[in-house]
């Protein structure tokens, strides 16, 4: 089972900041890592697939990078509506596993 270490657990940013969230795996995932956003009381939204592909309809302020074991979610020019819980998921091998999540406050 793949362990994903996501950091930071919490971050506070000002509108307009650029923020990075890291997800590190304990084994090679190629690019089989996704990112999701979840706001309180709402369904999670799929934002980045396969490490770096922006899901259609998602703001281009979001981007993903990385390959193998180190991955990053970047939010450029962060806005108040980006306040949410973000988590990574690996789909390289079964069972699917997740990072511990990052709560982003604006």
Partner 1 sequence: VQLVESGGGLVKPGRSLRLSCTASGFSFPDDALSWFRQAPGKGLEWVGFIRSTPAGGETEFGASVRGRFTISRDDSKNIAYLQMDSLNTDDSAVYYCTRVFRGGWYPDYWGQGTLVTVSS
Contacts of 43 (CB under 8 A, 6+ apart): none
- Shortest CB 32 distance to partner 1, Å: 8
- Shortest CB 2 distance to partner 1, Å: 12
Report the C-alpha gap between 69 and 57 in whole angstroms.
27
- Shortest CB 72 distance to partner 1, Å: 18
Identity of the residue, 44 or 106, whose beta carbon is nearer to partner 1 in the bound complex: 44
Identity of the residue, 50 or 70, whose beta carbon is nearer to partner 1 in the bound complex: 50
Q: Tell me the CB-side half-sphere exposure of residue 15, using CA atoms within 13 A.
A: 3
């Amino acid at each position: 089972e793949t362990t994903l270490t996501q950091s930071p657990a919490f971050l506070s940013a000002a509108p307009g900041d650029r923020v990075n969230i890291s997800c590190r795996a304990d084994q090679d995932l190629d690019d089989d890592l996704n990112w999701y956003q979840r706001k309180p009381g709402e369904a999670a939204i799929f934002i980045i697939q396969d490490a770096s592909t922006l899901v259609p309809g998602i703001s281009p302020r979001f981007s993903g990078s990385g390959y193998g074991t180190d991955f990053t979610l970047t939010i450029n020019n962060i806005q108040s509506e980006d306040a949410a819980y973000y988590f990574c998921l690996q789909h390289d091998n079964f069972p699917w596993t997740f990072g511990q999540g990052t709560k982003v406050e604006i």
